Structure 1
Amino acid sequence: MKKIEKFIAENPDRTFFLLIILALPAFFYNLGLQPLFADEPTRANVALEMILSKRFSVPTVGGEYYYNKPPVYNWILASLYLLTGSFSEFVTRLPAVVPMFLFAVTIYYSTAHFLKNNTTALLAGIFFLVNGRMLFYDSMLGHIDIFYSWLTYISFMLMFYFSQRNEWFKLFFFTYLITAITFLSKGLPSVVFQGLSLIALTTYTGNFKKLFSWQHIIGGSVFVLIVGGYFYNYWLHNPNVVGYLDTMWHQSSQRTATKFSFWNNVMYVLKFPFEHLVHLLPVTLLIVYCFNREFIKRLFETPFLKFVVILLLANIWIYWLSPMTRPRYLLMLYPLIFVVISDAYVTFQGRLPRFNTILFYFVATACSIVTIILPIILMLETPQNVDYLVLKACIVFLLMAALCLLIWQIPSQKIVLFFAFLVILRLGFSFFVIPERNQDAKKYRAIAIEMGAISKGKPFYFYSYHPHVEDIPFYDRLIFYIERSRMQMLKIVDQDNMSGYYLTFDKNLENPSAALVKEYEDGLKLFFVK
């Protein structure tokens, strides 16, 4: 026990990477098991149709122009599809999960470099992986946000690095280069992040005039040339660039307070900080260490911590006032909170001995209870779709039990060991919970694949496809699995006079020669027109 305690205390760098290695199977096992859902099918559709149509400049879904997001993320996904020769759910989620680990490593190295404390860096980096939001939701979805947030966070760190060295040309050049990439991934939020961050940075450092310098003009020109070059090339294929930009603007502006009632806005503003404290549990339990005068003084005296707080305040308000904000939109800001909390815990834990004792017994007891009830739950509610159940249960139980023992024996390293325990809990989630989730989604995946197999080699039409916004993921999932099964694009139509297969939802074709091939549950029907 003494050797383990000494190793963690003296080797935070090695401990960090051991935890990363431990987390790999936890996050990758069964990653591709669940069908695509939420925004995943849309991203997959765009990438798949780029390959099928050989038109990589013009995103489409169902053969129709897709204007909501620019294509950089889809280019990455399409490249992985071509590189691996697979269009599986596992490959679809790689561009999110791999950047998640790279993001954690980036947090570690940037924090270690600027604060010169590897223990603080260890905690900040691991906090990104084991907060509740990442542990049980975002880490298993092929969304754009982790990749996008990772690049945005790199831009934040470059701003501080080059401003400290007074290298303003490099600061503007590299951050605008990254902003161009992120803009071509997600659109207008990138401009907002860059603008607010630069204003905050130059004001904080007393260099506001740099916003009017030749260095800034050249940096901004890099952004304009890259983004302008893309849209010029897009215009050569589809002249509706104005419609493209208008849709991107609508995507960003629809979440603002102007779209909601006064009381809805007030309630959202009041709940916002508490909701995100919950999303980031159990990391936010340590926020108690931030509430002391000495730490507030340290924030103002430590340049990097001061920059982190100013950057957070400069950017978070726009989401605080936007009621449709989802937690994943703030993934580039959460690490700023983790850095502050980590530094407070490492620096001032000795000032709160009573809370340290309470925290120790809470962590040790909670881990013990979870370890004891896991086999009981598995016996009472045996998962039906888990192979090698007993072996997996033994692996998780023994690892949890070992970490519980370490937590009780080494209270000085309770936080590091607790978050290792959470990684094992995530492994158990991958083993036992993921196979049981989304049974309805699996049903519709099977239906879509069957329709694709029936219609392979023939034209396929999605008839009268006009879903509500909230229904788009369901329809896009059908489109992806049909196209993947056929390896041919389908087309969305409002007429039924062409030969081929037609998919309808809660309606029949008007063409009298249409023959019903098969009717599925929930109103899905497959017709054939000669």
Structure 2
Amino acid sequence: MVFFLLLLIAIPAFFTNLGLLPLFADEPTRANVAMEMILTKNYSVPTIGGEYYYNKPPLYNWILAGLYALTGSYSEFVTRLPAVVPMFLFAVTIFYAVAFFIRDKRVALLSGLAFLVNGRMLLYDSMLGHIDIFYSWLTFISFMSIFYFFRKKQWFLLFFVSYLITAVTFLSKGLPSIVFQGMTIIALLLYTRNFRRFFSWQHILSGIICLLIIGAYFFNYYHHNPDLKEYFHVIWDQSSQRTIARSGFIHSFGHLFTFPFEHLVHLLPVSLLVIFCLNKKFLKNVREDEFIKYISVVFLANIWVYWLSPETRPRYLLMLYPLLFIVLSNGYYMFREQYPRLNTIFNKVLLMLAVLVTLAVPSVFFIKFPQPVSFVMLKVLVLLAACGFFTFLIYSLRQNKIVPFIALLLMVRLAFSWFVLPSRLAKAEHMRTVSIDMAEQSKGSPFFLYQYHPEVLSLPYHHKIIYYLQRTKKQQVRFTEEDTKQGYYLTFDRDLQNPRAVLVKTYEDNLKLYRVQ
């Protein structure tokens, strides 16, 4: 009951102003592929600007395109829904999995909500329409299904269900799915001394079914674009570009030491629970609890791939973080009574942080926002009352002080949504305004992106322009190497050579809009 009450509190915290900011980072890339599927009525071949897009298979784009079609909107809010809704489903999945396997709802509650209130999710990934939350949720379900069927000794279902999920996740993100499945299965079979099952008919048949599903997609794709060699090359490149081979030994060597500390910082304040696991009894507890041992093995079997990859981004580990949260939450409830002094200090730290957060709320009145925020007084009063109430609970409760602290963190996110997101709007709005202006001026006419050869790092910037052009025009824009077709042309770094080209308007960042009649 408490878990779902906190989940209800989380809904306004995460959904408020979700669609306020323009798309950024990888968001417009996902949006463009889905939008072009609808505009071209071709759902088999991902494209951006009419050119083949090979970086990711299209399952996530199918879901996003379905939402676009269902809602009739290409808005930022709808674009982010396939990430934010699975975030809540992910938390619920963690809660039920832990409650089922450990039979301790305290650990289940803390593990599930830790996924929402760690720093990385609280203030960053939860407001982006990236593929990673959806993908990680499915991967986590695979981890849990493997353990569920292992306990029942149902080997065929263990392999079949997990490989079925692997096929689905492969069609979302590509090769990392094969790595997760392979490492997890091998680790489970080795530590349980069942490696002969790797060569069993159940495993081989399940692997074949997985390959057939993936193969069916590529067979259909081949009929639209026979260049599968380039597709496979790009998928492989996407999976290997952040490894030691690409980054160099010196950079990679330093990463080996900084990696664990960097991610402990990303996961604050949840990662503070690690102090309850720094004792001699912790490893004994891990070995004695079958589920805790399993998720520890899965974590260790998969984390080394990212530990050895210097360019790894935190969102790539979203399926592994919950495994860590479960271990830390279990350690907290297992050892807090055995170490009362440590628990007292920890509770005082929670209270001190809560008091600081509550006292910081009125500071909003002294901040000059770049853009006006509505109902400031009312919002401050709501936050002050809520933070004060949860701080009082942290002070007065004898047990489970961490639960009202989680609620307090959700108020921090609500304050972030109310005050920080609007303050970022003015700075982020420029490219959306420019793109919409170009689309309005060229409405009803073909639109081309001339000599489009951006560096990889500038792709999100260019894809953002394409997204707002296509969303406003309701037609596909296309790349071109020629400047002889009638229509409008956007140039990023050069002029058109056609003498019939007329410069319509020049924008910042050397963007130029031409018209050829």
Q: In the alignment, is residue 149 of structure 1 matched against residue 139 of structure 2?
A: no
Match in the other structure for 1:308: 295
Q: CA deviation at 1:507?
A: 2.0
Match in the other structure for 1:102: 89
Match in the other structure for 2:27: 40
Superposed counterparts of 1:213-362, under 5 Å: 213-362=200-349
Aligned match of 1:179 in 155, 166, 169?
A: 166
Q: In the alignment, is residue 465 of structure 1 matched against residue 476 of structure 2?
A: no
3-state SS of the aligned residue for 1:512? coil
Contact map agreement 1:383 1:432 (CA 8 A) in 2: no
Q: In the alignment, is residue 53 of structure 1 matched against residue 53 of structure 2?
A: no
Q: TM-score, normalised by structure 2?
A: 0.99
Match in the other structure for 1:482: 469
3-state SS of the aligned residue for 2:479? strand
Q: TM-score, normalised by structure 1?
A: 0.96
Q: Partner letter of residue 295 of structure 2?
A: V
Match in the other structure for 2:503: 516
Contact map agreement 2:17 2:417 (CA 8 A) in 1: yes
3-state SS of the aligned residue for 1:67? coil
Q: CA deviation at 1:204?
A: 1.6
Q: In the alignment, is residue 381 of structure 1 matched against residue 368 of structure 2?
A: yes
Aligned match of 1:188 in 171, 175, 182?
A: 175
3-state SS of the aligned residue for 1:437? helix
Match in the other structure for 2:387: 400
Aligned match of 2:18 in 26, 31, 34?
A: 31
Match in the other structure for 1:75: 62
Divergent runs of 4+, >6 A? none
Match in the other structure for 2:414: 427
CA distance in 1, matches of 2:203, 2:369: 61
CA distance in 1, matches of 2:365, 2:311: 38
Contact map agreement 1:131 1:280 (CA 8 A) in 2: yes
Contact map agreement 2:386 2:411 (CA 8 A) in 1: yes
Q: CA deviation at 1:366?
A: 1.5
Question: CA offsets, 1:490-518, max 9 Å, x none?
Answer: 11111111110000123211111111111
Q: CA deviation at 1:411?
A: 4.2
Match in the other structure for 2:196: 209
Change (3 A) 1:155 1:480: same
Q: CA deviation at 1:205?
A: 1.6
3-state SS of the aligned residue for 2:336? helix
Q: Which consecutive residues of structure 1, in runs of 5 or more, have no partner in the other structure? A: 1-13
Contact map agreement 1:35 1:442 (CA 8 A) in 2: yes
Q: CA deviation at 1:145?
A: 0.2
Q: CA deviation at 1:389?
A: 1.6
Of 490-499 and 139-148, deviating more is: 490-499
Question: CA offsets, 1:210-242, max 9 Å, x none?
Answer: 110110111111111110000000000000011
Question: CA offsets, 1:451-497, max 9 Å, x none?
Answer: 11111111100011111111000000000100010000011111111
Q: CA deviation at 1:519?
A: 1.1
CA distance in 2, matches of 1:390, 1:377: 9
Q: Partner letter of residue 282 of structure 2?
A: F
Of 451-460 and 267-276, deviating more is: 451-460
3-state SS of the aligned residue for 2:74? coil
Question: CA offsets, 1:416-441, max 9 Å, x none?
Answer: 11111000110000000001115343
CA distance in 2, matches of 1:440, 1:187: 34
Q: CA deviation at 1:356?
A: 1.4
3-state SS of the aligned residue for 1:248? helix
CA distance in 2, matches of 1:240, 1:92: 29
Contact map agreement 1:360 1:411 (CA 8 A) in 2: no
Question: CA offsets, 1:140-189, max 9 Å, x none?
Answer: 00000000000000000000000110001111111111000000000000
3-state SS of the aligned residue for 1:503? strand
Q: Partner letter of residue 27 of structure 2?
A: E
3-state SS of the aligned residue for 2:430? helix
3-state SS of the aligned residue for 1:350? coil
CA distance in 1, matches of 2:185, 2:401: 39
Question: CA offsets, 1:384-434, max 9 Å, x none?
Answer: 331112111111111111111111111422111111100011000000000
Q: CA deviation at 1:351?
A: 1.6
Q: Partner letter of residue 78 of structure 1?
A: A
3-state SS of the aligned residue for 2:399? helix
3-state SS of the aligned residue for 2:284? helix
Contact map agreement 2:504 2:514 (CA 8 A) in 1: yes
